[in-house]
């Protein structure tokens, strides 16, 4: 009896896994991918080179030199910094 149940379950699972195609179903071929041409020419840009003004900072007995400390302007009011950023 268990042989028949096992055989029935096996046949049911095998038939459920088969691919079935509907008759008359049209298959649509996908369009080929095309490469997009970059029409804009490359723009040569130069990196900004700010002026170096050495400034010594001492913290916990360690001294370091910051060449770009003058660019720090938390209130954005220094005319030199604003001129450099424009």
Give the per-residue pLDDT at 23. 63
Report d(CA 41, CA 65) in Å as an integer. 41
Q: Where are the alpha helices (DSSP H) in 1-86?
A: 2-16, 79-85
Provide the residue range defining the domain that includes 86.
50-86
Please give the pLDDT value at position 18.
66
Distance, C-alpha 61 to centroid of its chain: 42
Q: Are 68 and 57 in contact (CB under 8 A)?
A: no
Report the domain count for the chain.
Answer: 1
13 is a domain residue: no
Q: Is 70 exposed, middle or buried (0-12, 13-18, 19+ CB in 10 A)?
A: middle
Domain-embedded: residue 11: no
How much is the pTM? 0.41
Provide the pLDDT for residue 66.
93
Q: Would you write out the chain's pLDDT as a tens digit for each of its 86 residues?
A: 888 898 888 888 877 776 666 666 666 777 777 776 667 777 888 888 888 999 999 999 999 999 998 888 777 788 888 888 87
Confirm whether 65 is domain-assigned: yes
């Amino acid at each position: 009896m268990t042989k028949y149940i096992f055989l029935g379950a096996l046949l049911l699972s095998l038939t459920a896994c088969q691919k079935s195609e509907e008759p008359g179903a049209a298959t649509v071929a996908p369009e080929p991918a095309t490469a997009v041409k970059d029409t804009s020419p490359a723009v040569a840009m130069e990196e900004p080179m700010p002026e170096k003004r050495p400034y010594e900072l001492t913290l916990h007995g360690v001294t370091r030199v910051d060449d770009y400390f003058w660019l720090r302007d938390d209130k954005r009011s220094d005319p030199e910094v604003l001129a450099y950023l424009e």
